[in-house]
């Protein structure tokens, strides 16, 4: 590969690209992997003992103090002897993030056109809906939200699917194709030609402009691929791994595999713009990366797991009655149970019970305070996860429920602005590509869009219908009223 990559109007040197990838793997990747590890808390079977006696180690055990971890760092030796302290891991991070995602995109959204021309607006909406649905629909949106909440940010890539018939024609022509004969074929062609891909921060490497950190000069996607081939350099059968870097620049695309350029092509479908959309979960001023929901919860999660493990050990020692046998010369440690008889010639022999559970109010209070601190930091109270406690008061109305969930609803509204802006920007990239291909001709002014978000809380259907009728009487367009109710014109038979 040449010392200078052939990316027009970028002038990106190979050394600079290599440096950016090395910085990402050295500085960003360990932090990102730690965030995902704490969210996922994946179990791992460890130990060299027979399978029946092996134990499962969870990822969050890495945050426990040394007194609760086995000696040594070799997980193969971690099968814990019988006197090892008990470990309790309660993943409070995962259910909080899942609740945030459910509140934000728990139900499908609708992307609406702001055009006054109703037939034209419906055609645009149908094309966008087809592309989003073909890319994953509500599942795609939930993946976007989950990755953004865990990592702090997520990127979307709008690409021409050159594996499809329509996409292959567009990629080959690189120019305006004839418009379809029937508007009804527009959604099918759009869904076949374009797709939206989620780029998680562990793979995406932005090359930012030196003049504006919000602008990208290029974007690299680094992936380690496992091929259906055996590795010839391995002593035992293993799959061959290759490192592939897809480098994107405005109007240009390059694929580098193991240091060799294997593909290079112009991309004229996005009006000379980089079809990458950046979404911050929560804004971090003057930084490309956003704020993660996991990061501030990690210290509290470690403290919670530590105290739960300590309490488990205490309960184990104190909840079961123990016995002290004295004066039995031949006592072999036989378990005491119903029907057992012990004989001795020593008149002073005795078996005395001791132990039993005792209350530790300070311990319980400390654990409750940790949970309350996690509630405040995350904004997700137990009520949002379905845990109803007596201290929340009498939830006799929807307004009372909203007040109880005020912090979570406020966060949801703020995030919908950030994620909604990214969804709309990706949709405008789609319209630009469809216009460039001649599938759906639009001007930049005709690409004005908005999102109809569903209410995160369940509402009374009678109240919803009454509110919709009031809005329509005030002159709100019928399409918007139907979208807020979750209906399309086709659902009602209204043309």
The band of 124, judged by pLDDT with boundaries at 50, 70 and 90, is very high
pLDDT higher than 90, residue 251: no
pLDDT of 160 reads 85
pLDDT above 70 coverage of the chain, percent: 80
- The three-class DSSP label of residue 27 is helix
pLDDT of 162 reads 63
| Contacts of residue 362, Cβ cutoff 8 Å, sequence gap at least 6 | none
Which helix (H) or strand (E) segment holds residue 322: the answer is: strand 322-326
Alpha-carbon distance of 205 to 201, in angstroms, equals 7
Burial 249-282 (b: 16+ CB within 10 A, else e): bbbbbbbbeeeeeeeeeebbbbeeebbbbbbbbb
Question: What would the pLDDT profile of 39-97 be if each residue is shown by its tens digit?
Answer: 999 888 776 555 545 567 888 988 988 878 765 555 444 445 455 678 889 999 999 99
Question: What would the pLDDT profile of 160-202 be if each residue is shown by its tens digit?
Answer: 876 554 545 455 444 444 444 455 678 888 888 899 999 999 9
Question: What would the pLDDT profile of 432-463 be if each residue is shown by its tens digit?
Answer: 998 888 888 899 999 999 999 988 876 667 77
Contacts of the segment 222-226: beta carbons below 8 A, 24+ positions apart: 222/21, 222/24
pLDDT of 206 reads 92
Can you tell me which residue has the tokens 């009520």? 383
pLDDT of 494 reads 56
Assess contact for 165 and 177: CB atoms under 8 A: no
Using alpha carbons only, give the angle 212, 413, 416 rounded to the nearest 5 degrees: 50
What's the whole-number mean pLDDT along residues 471-484? 79
pLDDT of 172 reads 45
Q: Could you say which DSSP state residue 4 is in?
A: B
pLDDT of 170 reads 53
């Amino acid at each position: 590969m040449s010392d200078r990559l052939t990316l027009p109007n970028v002038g990106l040197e190979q050394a600079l690209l290599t440096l950016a990838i090395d910085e990402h793997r050295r500085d960003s990747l360990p932090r990102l992997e730690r965030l995902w590890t704490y969210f996922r808390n994946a179990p791992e079977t460890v130990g060299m003992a027979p399978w029946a006696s092996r134990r499962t180690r969870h990822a969050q055990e890495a945050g426990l103090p040394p007194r609760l971890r086995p000696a040594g760092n070799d997980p193969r030796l971690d099968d814990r002897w019988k006197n090892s302290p008990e470990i309790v891991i309660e993943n409070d991070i995962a259910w909080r993030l899942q609740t945030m995602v459910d509140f934000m995109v728990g139900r499908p959204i609708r992307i609406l056109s702001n055009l006054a021309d109703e037939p034209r607006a419906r055609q645009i909406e149908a094309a966008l809906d087809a592309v989003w649905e073909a890319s994953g629909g509500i599942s795609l949106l939930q993946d976007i939200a989950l990755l953004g909440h865990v990592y702090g940010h997520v990127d979307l890539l709008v690409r021409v699917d050159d594996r499809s018939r329509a996409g292959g024609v567009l990629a080959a022509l690189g120019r305006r194709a004839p418009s379809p004969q029937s508007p009804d074929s527009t959604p099918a062609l759009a869904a076949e030609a374009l797709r939206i891909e989620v780029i998680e921060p562990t793979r995406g490497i932005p090359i930012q402009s030196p003049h504006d950190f919000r602008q990208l000069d290029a974007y690299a996607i680094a992936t380690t691929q496992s091929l259906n081939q055996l590795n010839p350099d391995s002593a035992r059968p293993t799959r061959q791994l290759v490192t592939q870097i897809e480098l994107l620049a405005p109007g240009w695309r390059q694929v580098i595999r193991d240091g060799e350029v294997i593909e290079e092509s112009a991309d004229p479908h996005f009006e000379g713009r980089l079809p990458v959309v950046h979404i911050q979960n929560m804004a971090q001023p003057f930084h490309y990366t956003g704020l993660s929901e996991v990061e501030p919860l990690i210290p509290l999660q470690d403290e919670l797991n530590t105290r739960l493990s300590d309490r488990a050990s205490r309960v184990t020692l104190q909840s079961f009655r123990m016995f002290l046998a004295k004066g039995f010369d031949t006592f072999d440690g036989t378990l005491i149970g119903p029907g057992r008889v012990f004989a001795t010639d020593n008149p002073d022999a005795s078996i005395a019970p001791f132990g039993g559970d005792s209350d530790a109010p300070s311990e319980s209070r400390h654990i409750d305070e940790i949970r309350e601190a996690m509630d405040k930091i995350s904004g997700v109270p137990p009520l949002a996860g379905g845990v109803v406690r007596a201290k929340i008061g009498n939830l006799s109305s929807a307004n009372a429920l909203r007040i109880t969930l005020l912090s979570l609803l406020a966060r949801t509204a703020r995030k919908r602005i950030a994620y909604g802006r990214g969804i709309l920007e990706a949709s405008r990239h789609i319209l630009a590509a469809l216009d460039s291909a001649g599938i759906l001709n639009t001007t930049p002014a005709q690409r004005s869009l908005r999102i109809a978000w569903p209410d995160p809380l369940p509402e009374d259907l009678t109240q919803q219908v009454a509110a919709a009728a009031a809005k329509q009487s005030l002159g709100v367009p019928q399409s918007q009223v139907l979208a807020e109710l979750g209906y399309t014109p086709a659902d009602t038979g209204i043309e």
